[in-house]
Structure 1
Amino acid sequence: MSTPQPQTHQQAAPAPNWQSAPGTSYTSPIPITRTHLGHALTSEWTKIKSVRSTMWTLGVFLLLVVGIGLLVAANTDSNDYADVPYTIPAFFGLILGQICLITLGVLVVSSEYGTGMIRTTFTASPQRHRVLTAKLLIFFVVAFVVSAFAIGFVGLITSGMHGGASDNKWGGTVLMGALYVSLLGVLALAVGSMLRHSAGAITAMLGLVLVPAILPAFLMMSESLRTLGEKMTEYNAPNALAKIFELDSENGGGGSQLVLLVGVTAAAIAGAYALLERRDV
């Protein structure tokens, strides 16, 4: 016959009281600050200077503008600059170099969609318009500074090579030329934001730049389309840069072409903002 075991009574531990004492509130040890555009700008600056695509595209851009520019300058003499600015050699490099800025503008935004990192970006900064604004500002500043440096450097070297024989002011061509190609890059960024695909956006931008330069030759074969062809010739990117650099100043110095690009870029940016808020990541 087994001996009955003594019963032990275990008392349940009291539930912890998570309520704060009256009159007190919890304060997190982690500092909390309101985010603003400056944080987004810092983030985008870190991104654009860290990726290899920026170094490659800007490096090739400088190589084309400065290299071709100095090559052209070496094959000219002082008499060639009697009535034109010293920055004209940079024009020939910009014809190809603008493609580099277009490519970089697309990659600034589309590469994040391609890798899926845009989800992390929008999680860290739910205000999507702030992210796009930061991308636009950082890219424009970088593109403008690099473009102005390249054009100005070519102008200075050309002036030194030919003894400063011309009294023509060429500072305006530096600013307007850099502004034009930088706006092309900003337009590419907006298109990249809308299409979210690197190859598609780059192809669309190349078509926008190259087709107006080629198509007028066919349009002018028809009398009914001749006017359209002439306007397209006047406002396409190569001829716009030619007017800015005073290679063709019959219809002004490229001011109307620059205004048109500003309008087209503004419309593309507005479309990018609208689609950004309406679509899922």
Structure 2
Amino acid sequence: MTTPPTPQPQAQPQQAYAQAGAPMPQGAPMPHGAPMAPPPAAPAPPSAWQQAMSNAYTSPIPVKKTHLGNALASEWTKIKSVRSTMWTLGVFLLLVVGIGLLVAAQTQDRDYADVPFTIPAFFGLVLGQICLITLGVLVTSSEYGTGMIRTTFTASPQRYRVLAAKILIFFVIAFVVSAGSILLVGLMTSGMHSGPEAGDVDWSGTVLKGGLYVSLLGVLALAAGSMLRHSAGAITAMLGVVLVPAILPVFLMISEGTRPLGEKMMDYNAINSLAKIFEMDGTGGGTSQLLLLVGLTAAAIVGAFALLEKRDV
């Protein structure tokens, strides 16, 4: 009898495809009992944060970090856009230049033998300083009165930056306008009374010191407006700072005990300080009065910054 041929084991499908050099198709049949490859793992579903980030809006406007220059530009736009700035500065120029030229027209060449040609501007500054005080108060208090300060602090959460920009912009404007008006009066007076009887007193210091003094008064008023947050109250307080030291010494000089205080107050009130700056007594001075005002203004600014961060809008 013939022995039947022994059946050869069939090659596994993976081996057959591997010998042929071709990948096994996905639908190829697997033999019974052959191990099956595990199915590929499904991707994890995106988290809620990833979904929110994928749906987040991206602005086409480039985002830049803000700085003090942005606050300065904002405050410059605001201060030049309101009518109170034009009115107060216009009245200031009218008083200083107008009264100064009227006084210069009534004087003679010999009246300037030992005084500077800017003397006529002093009479206009006595009244004109009230305009800068009023404007300084309105720069801050008007925004609190209208409620626009909320918008300002929302756009610029750094409150100290807003107040610093207000102080810088106002001081530059006040100094340029005040020093420019004093210079204009001095030039016109010099042209009217530059005869042989007139002296040759240097008056450049009166332009700088006079402009600086009234500008610092305005900055002091700005700090007062920031602390009080009320226009009428801050203006009234600043009028008291200017007028009370000029009136009170008259009563203090009556008594011997209060006479030294009255004399000191007489020397350092705003009107007599300007008189010393403009050399009304024939001698240069006003430096100590100016330094005192610098100290008072610096203290008021520090108080304004401190209260700005502690109080709510």
- TM-score (normalizing by structure 2): 0.81
Partner Cα distance (2:133, 2:298) in 1: 16
| Secondary structure at 2:169 match in 1 | helix
Aligned-residue offset at 1:29: 2.0
Cα distance in 2 for partners of 1:60, 1:195 equals: 25
Alignment of 1:54-73 (within 5 A): 54-73=85-104
Give the direction of change, closer, same or farther, for the CA distance of 1:82–1:249 in structure 2 (3 Å limit).
closer
Q: Which of 143, 166, 170 in structure 2 is aligned with 1:135?
A: 166
Structure 2: which 5+ residue stretches go unaligned?
Answer: 1-45
> Alpha-carbon deviations, 1:99-136, whole Å to 9, x = none?
00000000000000000000000000000000000000
Residue by residue over 1:231-275, the C-alpha shift from the partner in whole angstroms, topping out at 9 and shown as x without a partner, is: 00000000000000000356x510000000000000000000000
Are 1:271 and 2:303 counterparts?
yes
C-alpha distance in 1, partners of 2:199/2:69?
Answer: 44
Residues 65-214 of structure 1 mapped to structure 2, 5 A cutoff: 65-163=96-194, 165-214=198-247
Shift of 1:27: 5.5
**Paired residues of 2:114 and 2:282 also in contact (CA < 8 A):** no
The Cα RMSD (Å) is 1.9
Whether 1:243 aligns to 2:243 is: no
2:262 is the counterpart of 1:229 = yes
The Cα offsets for residues 194-249 of structure 1, whole Å up to 9 and x where unpaired, read as 00000000000000000000000000111110000000000000000000000035
1 CA distance for matches of 2:49 and 2:127? 67
Larger Rg, first or second structure (1 or 2): 2
- Aligned residue number for residue 216 of structure 1: 249
Aligned length: 263
Give the gaps of 5 or more residues in structure 1. Answer: 1-14
**Does 2:84 match 1:53?**
yes
Aligned to 2:23: none
For residues 98 and 199 of structure 2, the distance between their equivalents in structure 1, rounded to whole angstroms, comes to: 22
- For 1:232 and 1:54, the matched residues in 2 are separated by 32
Cα distance change, pair 230–29 in 1 and its aligned pair in 2 (3 A):
same
* Alpha-carbon distance between aligned partners in 2 of 1:166 and 1:141, rounded to the nearest angstrom: 32
Q: Deviations over 1:14-43 (max 9, x none)?
A: x9x9847xxxx9864221000000000000
Normalising to structure 1: TM-score of the pair? 0.90
Identity of matched residues, %: 80
Partner of 1:30 in structure 2? 61
Letter in 1 for 2:301: I
**Is 1:280 matched with 2:302?**
no
1:255 maps to 287
